[in-house]
């Protein structure tokens, strides 16, 4: 498989679980190589000794294995032929169809100059009220779902992908189960949306270190559509905790001193490099990133969610509502930092007030529930808040509700009128006048 | 001849260079890559090997690449024309860079060499001057900026020649200075300074004492920071660190504001780019961008330049301080800088300190905060750098090394608290955990007694102890129930709520409430303390909450109304009526 001008090496001097070393000349940093047919990348150069990280692991690699240097960092051929296709971490097709042609670009390219960015201001509707009503997203935003592994986060991601008003959707799957991969594939093809989807998938069956390439692959494709075609691109990354775990494996094998939770000291920068690819360009192109960070036992002080929270523009929590048994977007802990840029401006004027009033009443219900659990008597108002909370969770917070934002506001007004008086809802008089159901 | 070298090793952004001559620690060098020169800094030397951190991606570098050393440390270029600019961490002008993406090795000049400045000489021939002395003046964005004897000039100099008043560009020779040996030095309006060295061209650094007005009640009234003071804001994500910092940057009564966005979100910097040209400095009526300089090393920009960015910002601040200006320097966040140090120390295989941070972290932080301060210049004028840094504690835990080491050196501590943020009590500063050491400075007490009122500090302590008492009682009520504590306890608790809602909470997004000038803070503090001093009579604990909610609501409306406007006075009257009508114990 070596081309004429490529030099072949066959003397490996050192092999560890993830790396191998050899003497070689003229090798460049981060260059791609093939070791016994497996993809590898230069991670360290010491004089004429080169250390290669072998993505697929080094099991069975002999010291006389064939090592070929490719003379370039990992690349992806970008273009329209990517559309509707499924690839692995190296950008090779896994859908049985031929390798697409296109412009070859290095993945993990440079950052956008901050002065060339535009302040995000365009609403990204998902149809899910728990998001659009309470945690409105904006194009160019980056936001993760913080979720326990038992929540149906991939289903939610697929829902968002189907509803979101975007030109392209790039799915990056890291350590995704084969079942979830097929779920995405079937959902997308059944919905007939494959013509705007590109997927890069690393499943649990693939070597874990390979998944380090997935976000860069997905975002390189996204940059092509956002920069060259001025399209609105939505990137879905699931699950970033698996990505971080792969980082910790590599840093461990490179003898780096771990910091908090066995994660590498560079975790913040590593995650930021990915999330900061989210951008709004002045010419209309944008990259929005929605990711999944699975939590262990709901612990958000763990290094992965903690560092993520400092990088992303808010976070969405998934949980099951005890009253209705439905999966909802938790209105208390979820937050979209950029919603202020669009609510009441790009959506109906009453949006901010309705949103706050509903959450406040839902909080009152939560207090009432605590009272009940502690054996105190409920007031008549408490009873009404509990009934409201149930309807609110079922008709608005549940992830299977699909409405446009104006309809969501109307539903909220209907629920207010059903259980409360205008004074109890405490919304500006002009809006009550205009929107209170008569 | 300049030292040259050859790349022999690469791991991430740490490159080993075999050198052919002398190199110094922190010297700058350039690695010659295929199509770019990559700026790097020497951080360790062993024998012939210099270890350099590269301020760029090291992708595609190889053993054998050539390296050129420049014989100086990382420098800033100082002169007129820096205001309103957006720099990266190495002081490259971001607006001058072409293309959407940052190109490796693209270094742009931070100043404008063409622009003509109206220069007015401040000295005459034969005047004796030393480093930092003002020899001329130009006006930039309506601020008078000084042209100074370069900070690097040692000893005494005599002005041999100085140009007449007129228009010159920054490269034009404006003066000739002779040193004590008679050697002549030509100077223009530009000077360079190594960022990691503190500028000490001043006479003395007395204890700071003057209140720096931020317009924020939880700072100015409760835990004041002073001109030349230091403070820090730690807080878990989502507690409003950045909003608080941005608002302080917008409102503070300062001549120059420098914002170092160190390893934070690019969209936050974009917000400043988008808003500042339209926002007005509440003290001068001019555009906020006119007094602001932004140093942006966002989290996706090269890590090594993150450390450089805070030093670049500090060196620029020192330049303006030497002109006798009041500078506010904000860095968000110093944790990212510490993390950059940690990444490097790890690659250098140094023995780690706590949480894998380098052992000298505390010394580095202390040194940096030490560069802020209030100074008396050689000509008797004063200048100051007030430094406020944010800290992003891992897991929201304040017992981590960056927070702890910063706490040792910063004199003001503004603790943002998750619980307050959850309750939407903004700014989420926990008043009991936070402190300002300046309140204890006799110099400050003297100043504030003169400036506001003699019993000011006493009043501040009064509301703080009421807050502490209120918190204690809230805990007791939680355990014992509403009827398990004496009726008076409810009153004490609700008085602390009054203080919380009217003084400690401030709506940073409200046009009026966002900025509270000192006379108004004084008025409101007196108002609240007067209410707290009344002993109200209540029949039942339920009535206490109802009554105080009403008072709070009226007082908050006052905060939202323009000071002493008709609305304001109407609410004041309402409040007075509510107070008059309620039964009280007269002996108090």
- Domains of chain A in start order, with CATH, are 8-69 (2.40.30.20), 80-106+139-312 (3.40.50.12240), 351-435 (no CATH)
Q: Quote the pLDDT of residue A364.
A: 87
| Model pLDDT for residues A317-365, shown as the tens digit of each residue | 999 988 889 999 998 889 999 998 999 999 999 999 899 889 889 988 9
Res. A149: pLDDT tops 50: yes
Residues 412..431 of B with a Cβ closer than 8 Å to A: which?
422
Of A153-162, A218-227, B374-383, minimum mean pLDDT range: A153-162
In angstroms, rounded to a whole number, what is the distance separating the alpha carbons of residues B316 and B295?
10
Q: How confident is the model at residue A2 (pLDDT cuts 50, 70, 90)?
A: very low
Residues 299..318 of B with a Cβ closer than 8 Å to A: which?
299-301, 303
Mean pLDDT computed over every residue of chain A: 92
Per-residue pLDDT of chain B (588 residues; tens, 9 = 90+): 789 999 999 998 999 999 999 999 999 999 999 889 999 999 999 999 999 999 999 999 999 999 999 999 999 999 999 999 999 999 999 999 999 999 999 999 999 999 999 999 999 999 999 999 999 999 999 999 999 999 999 999 999 999 999 999 999 999 999 999 999 999 999 999 999 999 999 999 999 999 999 999 999 999 999 999 999 999 888 888 888 999 999 999 999 999 999 998 999 999 999 888 889 998 899 999 999 999 999 998 888 899 999 999 999 999 999 999 999 999 998 999 998 898 888 888 888 888 889 999 999 999 999 999 999 999 999 999 999 999 999 888 889 999 999 999 999 999 999 888 877 788 999 999 999 999 999 999 999 999 999 999 999 999 999 999 999 999 888 788 778 899 999 999 999 999 999 999 998 878 899 999 999 999 999 999 999 999 999 998 889 988 998 999 899 889 999 999 999 999 999 999 999 999 998 764
| Model pLDDT for residues A396-435, shown as the tens digit of each residue | 999 988 899 999 999 999 999 999 998 888 787 889 899 9
Contacts of A227 in chain B (CB under 8 A): 100
> CATH number of the domain at B217-441, please?
3.40.50.300
Residues 260..289 of B with a Cβ closer than 8 Å to A: which?
263, 265-267, 269-271, 273-274
- Range B4-73 classified under CATH 1.20.1250.20: no
Compute CA distances A247 → A223, A297, A299, B13, whole Å: 23, 21, 20, 17
In angstroms, rounded to a whole number, what is the distance separating the alpha carbons of residues B177 and B199?
20
How far A71 CA lies from chain B's nearest CA (Å)?
Answer: 9
In angstroms, rounded to a whole number, what is the distance separating the alpha carbons of residues B480 and B466?
21
**For residue B392, what are the β-bridge partners?**
none
Q: Quote the pLDDT of residue A18.
A: 84
**B456-581: CATH class:** mainly alpha
Closest chain A residue to B304, measured at CA: A269
ipTM tops the 0.85 cut: yes
Contacts of B103 in chain A (CB under 8 A): 110
CB contact under 8 A, B299 and A268: yes
Q: Quote the pLDDT of residue A5.
A: 60
Q: Quote the pLDDT of residue A406.
A: 94
* Strand, coil or helix: B321: helix
How far A298 CA lies from chain B's nearest CA (Å)?
Answer: 13
Q: Residues near A258 by Cβ (< 8 Å), separated by ≥ 6?
A: A248, A251, A252, A264, A265, B356
**B117-192: CATH class:** mainly beta
Domain boundaries, given as residue ranges, for chain B: 4-73, 117-192, 217-441, 456-581
CA atoms within 13 A on the CB side of B225: 34
């Amino acid at each position: 498989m070596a081309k004429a001008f490529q030099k072949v090496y066959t003397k490996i001097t050192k092999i560890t679980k993830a790396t191998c070393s050899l003497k070689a000349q003229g090798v460049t940093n981060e260059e791609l190589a093939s070791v016994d047919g497996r993809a590898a990348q230069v991670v360290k150069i010491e004089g004429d000794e080169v250390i290669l990280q072998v993505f697929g692991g080094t099991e069975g690699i002999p010291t006389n294995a064939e090592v070929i240097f490719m003379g370039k960092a990992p690349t992806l051929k970008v273009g329209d032929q990517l559309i509707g296709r499924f690839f692995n971490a190296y950008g090779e097709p896994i859908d049985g169809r031929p390798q697409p042609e296109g412009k070859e670009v290095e993945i993990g390219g440079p950052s956008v100059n901050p002065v060339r960015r535009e302040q995000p201001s365009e609403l990204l509707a998902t149809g899910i009220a728990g998001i659009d009503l309470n945690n409105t997203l904006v194009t160019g935003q980056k936001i993760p779902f913080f979720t326990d592994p038992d929540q149906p986060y991939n289903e939610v991601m697929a829902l968002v992908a189907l509803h979101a008003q975007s030109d392209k959707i790039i799915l990056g799957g890291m350590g995704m189960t084969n079942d979830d991969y097929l779920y995405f594939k079937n959902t997308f093809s059944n919905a007939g949306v494959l013509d705007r989807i590109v997927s890069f998938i690393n499943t649990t069956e693939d070597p874990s270190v390979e998944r380090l390439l997935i976000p860069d692959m997905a975002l390189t494709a996204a940059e092509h559509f956002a920069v060259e075609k001025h399209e609105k691109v939505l990137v879905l990354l699931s699950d970033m905790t698996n990505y971080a775990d792969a980082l910790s494996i590599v840093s461990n094998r490179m003898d780096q001193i771990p910091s908090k939770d066995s994660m590498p000291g560079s975790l913040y920068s590593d995650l930021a490099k990915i999330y900061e690819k989210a951008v709004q360009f002045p010419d209309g192109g944008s990259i929005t990133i929605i990711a999944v960070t699975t939590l262990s036992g709901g612990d958000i002080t763990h290094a992965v969610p903690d560092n993520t929270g400092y990088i992303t523009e808010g976070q969405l929590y998934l949980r099951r509502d005890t009253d209705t048994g439905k999966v909802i977007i938790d209105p208390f802990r979820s937050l979209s930092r950029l919603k202020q840029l669009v609510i009441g401006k790009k959506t109906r004027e009453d949006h901010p007030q309705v949103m706050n009033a509903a959450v406040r009443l839902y909080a009152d219900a939560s207090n009432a529930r605590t009272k009940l659990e502690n054996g105190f008597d409920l007031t008549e108002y408490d009873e009404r808040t509990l009934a409201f909370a149930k309807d609110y969770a079922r008709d608005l917070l549940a992830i299977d509700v699909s409405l446009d934002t104006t309809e969501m506001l109307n539903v909220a007004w209907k629920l207010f009128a059903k259980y409360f008086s205008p004074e109890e809802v405490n919304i500006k008089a002009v809006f009550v006048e205009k929107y209170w159901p008569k | 001849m300049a030292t040259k070298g050859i790349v022999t090793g690469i791991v991430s952004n740490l490159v080993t260079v075999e050198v052919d001559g002398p190199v110094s620690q922190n010297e700058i060098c350039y690695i010659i890559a295929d199509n770019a020169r990559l700026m790097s800094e020497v951080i360790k030397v062993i024998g012939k090997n210099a270890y350099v951190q590269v301020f760029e991606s090291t992708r595609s570098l190889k053993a054998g690449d050539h390296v050129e050393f420049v014989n100086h440390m990382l420098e800033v270029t100082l002169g007129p024309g820096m205001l309103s600019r957006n720099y990266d961490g190495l002081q490259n002008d971001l607006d001058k860079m072409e293309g959407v993406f940052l190109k490796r090795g693209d270094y742009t000049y931070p100043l404008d060499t063409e622009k003509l400045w109206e220069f007015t000489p401040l000295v005459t021939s034969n005047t004796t001057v030393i480093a930092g002395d003002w020899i001329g003046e130009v006006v930039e964005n309506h601020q008078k900026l000084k042209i100074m004897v370069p900070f690097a000039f040692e000893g005494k100099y005599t002005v041999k020649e100085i140009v007449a008043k007129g228009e010159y560009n920054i490269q034009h020779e404006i003066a000739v200075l002779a040193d004590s040996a008679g050697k002549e030095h030509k100077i223009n309006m530009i000077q360079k300074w190594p960022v990691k060295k503190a500028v000490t061209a001043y006479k003395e650094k007395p204890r700071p004492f003057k209140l720096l007005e931020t317009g924020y009640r939880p700072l100015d009234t409760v835990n004041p920071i002073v001109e030349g003071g230091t403070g820090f804001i730690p807080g878990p994500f989502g507690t409003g660190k950045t909003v608080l910092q941005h608002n302080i940057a917008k409102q503070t009564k300062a001549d120059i504001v420098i914002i170092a966005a160190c390893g934070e979100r690019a969209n936050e910097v974009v917000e400043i780019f988008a808003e500042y040209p339209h926002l007005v400095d509440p003290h001068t009526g001019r555009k906020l961008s006119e007094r602001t300089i932004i140093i942006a090393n966002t989290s996706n920009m090269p890590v090594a330049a993150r450390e450089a960015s805070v030093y670049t910002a500090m060196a620029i601040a020192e330049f303006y301080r030497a002109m006798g200006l009041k500078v506010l320097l904000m860095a968000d966040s110093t944790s990212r800088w510490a993390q950059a140090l940690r990444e490097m120390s790890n690659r250098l295989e140094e023995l780690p300190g706590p949480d894998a941070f380098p052992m000298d972290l505390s010394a580095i932080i202390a040194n940096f905060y030490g560069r802020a301060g209030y100074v008396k210049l050689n000509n008797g004028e004063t200048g100051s750098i007030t430094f406020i840094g944010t800290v992003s504690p891992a897991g929201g835990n304040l017992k981590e090394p960056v927070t702890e080491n910063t706490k040792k050196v910063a004199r003001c501590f503004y603790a943002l608290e998750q619980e307050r943020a959850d309750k939407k009590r903004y700014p989420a500063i926990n008043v009991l955990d936070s402190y300002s050491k300046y309140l204890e400075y006799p110099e400050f007490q003297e100043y504030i007694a003169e400036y506001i009122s003699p019993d000011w500090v006493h009043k501040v302590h009064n509301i703080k102890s009421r807050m502490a008492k209120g918190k204690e009682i809230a805990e007791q009520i939680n355990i014992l129930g509403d009827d398990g504590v004496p009726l008076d306890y409810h009153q004490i608790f609700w008085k602390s709520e009054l203080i919380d809602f009217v003084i400690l909470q401030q709506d940073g997004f409200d046009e009026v409430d966002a900025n509270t000038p000192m006379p108004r803070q004084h008025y409101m503090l007196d108002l609240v303390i007067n209410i707290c001093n009344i002993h109200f009579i209540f029949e039942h604990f339920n009535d206490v909450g109802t009554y105080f909610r009403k008072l709070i609501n009226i007082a908050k409306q006052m905060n939202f109304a323009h000071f002493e406007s008709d609305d304001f006075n109407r609410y004041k009257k309402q409040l007075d009526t509510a107070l008059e009508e309620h039964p009280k114990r007269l002996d108090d």
